[in-house]
Amino acid sequence: MTKTSLDHYFELLDSDTGVDGINELFTENALAIYGGEVARGHDWIGRLHRSVIGRRKSSRHEWTIVEKTRDRLVAQWQESGVDLHDKEFTASGRAVTSLDDTGRISDLRLSFESGTDRIRVILGRHLEAFALEDPDDRREVIAQVYHEDVRFFEADKVSVFTGRAEIAARTDQVLTMAQPLLAQIDGVMENHHAVLWQWTIVNPIAGEARGWEVVRLDGDQIREFVVFTEDADTLVEGMP
């Protein structure tokens, strides 16, 4: 049976030379959303996957293609491996791709549905709420990941959004503007019911911004999140 671009993608995630090969599976201006992290175009897709592969010492993926048409592939996937702290991990989820006429990937959404790293699953859904282009998909994720009384404190130190409806309206606004070339997780720390994670976002107008976010959890839902950055002007350039 002829292998698809999605078959090659999972194989390369586990290989020593995966980054360069992964680039070739995507169209020049492709969009890749990997567990909520975002990359647009060959160079940024390579940078994101270099980061992803660099977070573990080893990994092994298993997957099943559950839908296959000329322009779309859907797979259920599982991953097991060893992280940089020599701890074994597992994860599973779904991957949906759109293909061009040559079979290359023009759009990838790989989502985490479960895993031993519970915080990474929650952060993946959190990031998807601000990354997915389909409003129905975003609202489904928002209903899953945010507490009904969630509060969001933006980096401008002024704006506060309360409740799922206000956050959904804010994601609608953000996604009408120029979208980042890269939105990437750089590090995560957990303490009881709080998470501190570091991020990099590359704004196509103003360049690279870095910062942190504090997330307060209520079970597996986010009750509050606060954004901190010294690059606020860069981050919001071109945004409403």
Q: Secondary structure of the chain in the HEC alphabet?
A: CCCCHHHHHHHHHCCCCHHHHHHHHEEEEEEEEECCEEEECHHHHHHHHHHHHCCEEEEEEEEEEEEEECCEEEEEEEEEEEECCCCEEEEEEEEEEEECCCCCEEEEEEEEEEECCHHHHHHHHHHHCCCCCCHHHHHHHHHHHEEEEEEEECCCCCCEEEHHHHHHHHHHHHCCCCCCCEEEEEEEEEECCEEEEEEEEEECCCEEEEEEEEEEEECCEEEEEEEEECCHHHHHCCCC
β-pair partners for 34:
37, 110
Q: What is the pLDDT of residue 71?
A: 96
Distance CA 177, CA 163 (A): 23
Distance of CA 201 to the CA centre of its chain: 12
Backbone dihedral angles phi then psi of residue 76, each to the nearest 5 degrees: -100, 135
Do residues 138 and 218 lie in contact, with contact meaning Cβ atoms separated by under 8 Å? no
* 220: number of Cβ within 10 Å: 13
Do residues 82 and 89 lie in contact, with contact meaning Cβ atoms separated by under 8 Å? yes
What's the whole-model pTM score?
A: 0.93
Do residues 215 and 197 lie in contact, with contact meaning Cβ atoms separated by under 8 Å? yes
β-pair partners for 38:
33, 183
Q: Which CATH class is domain 1-116?
A: alpha beta
Q: Domain extents for the chain? A: 1-116, 117-240
Residue 134 confidence (pLDDT) above 70: yes
Least confident of 58-62, 109-113, 153-157, 209-213: 153-157
Cα-based angle 198, 14, 40 (whole degrees, multiple of 5)? 50
Q: What is the pLDDT of residue 239?
A: 56
β-pair partners for 83:
56
Q: How many residues does the chain have?
A: 240
* 1-116 and 117-240 share one fold: yes
Q: What is the pLDDT of residue 236?
A: 66
Residue 218 confidence (pLDDT) above 80: yes
Least confident of 42-46, 64-68, 197-201: 42-46
Work out the average pLDDT over 178-184.
89
β pairing state of 194-203 and 182-191: antiparallel
Quickly state the pLDDT bin for 151 (edges 50, 70, 90): very high
Convert the pLDDT of each residue in 53-73 to its tens digit: 999 999 999 999 999 999 999
Q: Which CATH class is domain 117-240?
A: alpha beta
Work out the average pLDDT over 12-36.
89
